[in-house]
């Protein structure tokens, strides 16, 4: 946990958790072109290892959301708000990553959850997966083209849509800006 009470793991779940986020995280619009690694603008919200070896958030952590975001960029910004940093990984890179995240058998609040339509021939696991943030029992905060703004869905809401029908799994951040790593 961090010492800043505004950045603790969210106690409320669902829509109440969404309403408690800063306006920049509630009002962001969906933009598929604004994904991690997009050429313009670069992902300024993540500053890679510095001289001290620590990864950290950029000074204006929400500036890169002004032009919209895709699901990954949004999920990473939500985690960053709570002191957890994820490098600008695309979904297949996130699923394969074992440096900044680890796989979680059962999602806990603030774990990333990935959904897809099932394995795709010639594509690595996680390719094109949709990424959300697990908030609590049967509650996932995410940003998708269908809604256009952040929303909280139940796992059944994902399963009812062919492109999200498979729950690929959960990833837990292990890189933080404070003492959140043992959460």
Using one digit for the tens of pLDDT, what is the confidence trace for 3-25?
344 444 565 566 777 888 899 99
pLDDT above 80 (res 89): yes
Say which residue, 107 or 66, is predicted with more confidence: 107
What are the DSSP calls for 95-109, one per residue?
A: HH--SSEEEESS--T
Cα angle, residue 159 at apex, residues 144 and 172 outer, rounded to 5° = 70
Say which residue, 84 or 38, is predicted with more confidence: 84
pLDDT above 80 (res 88): yes
pLDDT above 90 (res 79): yes
Provide the percentage of residues in the chain whose pLDDT is more than 90: 57
Cα-only R_g, the chain: 15
Q: Which CATH architecture has domain 11-178?
A: Alpha-Beta Complex (3.90)
Say which residue, 107 or 61, is predicted with more confidence: 107
pLDDT of residue 95: 96
Q: Please name which of 50, 99, 45 lies closest in space to residue 75, comparing C-alpha atoms.
A: 45
Average pLDDT over residues 24-35: 85
pLDDT of residue 63: 66
Average pLDDT over residues 150-167: 95
Q: Where are the domains of the chain?
A: 11-178
Lowest-confidence range among 9-13, 54-58, 103-107, 111-115? 54-58
Q: pLDDT class for 165, splitting at 50, 70, 90?
A: very high
Provide the percentage of residues in the chain whose pLDDT is more than 70: 70
- The SS3 assignment for 39 reads coil
Q: pLDDT digits over 118-158, tens only?
A: 988 999 999 989 999 999 989 999 999 999 999 999 999 99
Write down the pTM of the prediction: 0.79
């Amino acid at each position: 946990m961090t010492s800043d009470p505004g950045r603790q793991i969210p106690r409320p779940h669902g829509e109440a958790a969404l309403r408690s986020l800063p306006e920049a995280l509630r009002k962001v619009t969906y933009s598929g072109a604004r994904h991690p690694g997009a050429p313009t603008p670069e992902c300024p919200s993540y500053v890679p290892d510095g001289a001290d070896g620590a990864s950290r958030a950029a000074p204006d952590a929400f500036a890169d959301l002004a032009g919209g975001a895709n699901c990954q960029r949004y999920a990473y910004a939500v985690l960053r708000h709570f002191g957890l940093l994820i490098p600008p990984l695309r979904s297949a890179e996130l699923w394969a990553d074992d440096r900044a995240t680890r796989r979680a058998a059962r999602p806990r609040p603030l774990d990333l959850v990935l959904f897809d339509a099932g394995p795709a021939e010639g594509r690595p696991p996680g390719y094109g997966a949709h990424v959300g943030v697990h908030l609590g029992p049967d509650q996932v905060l995410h940003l998708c083209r269908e809604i256009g703004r952040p929303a909280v869905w139940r796992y059944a809401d994902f399963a009812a849509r062919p492109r999200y029908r498979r729950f690929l799994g959960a990833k837990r951040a292990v890189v933080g800006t404070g003492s959140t790593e043992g959460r």
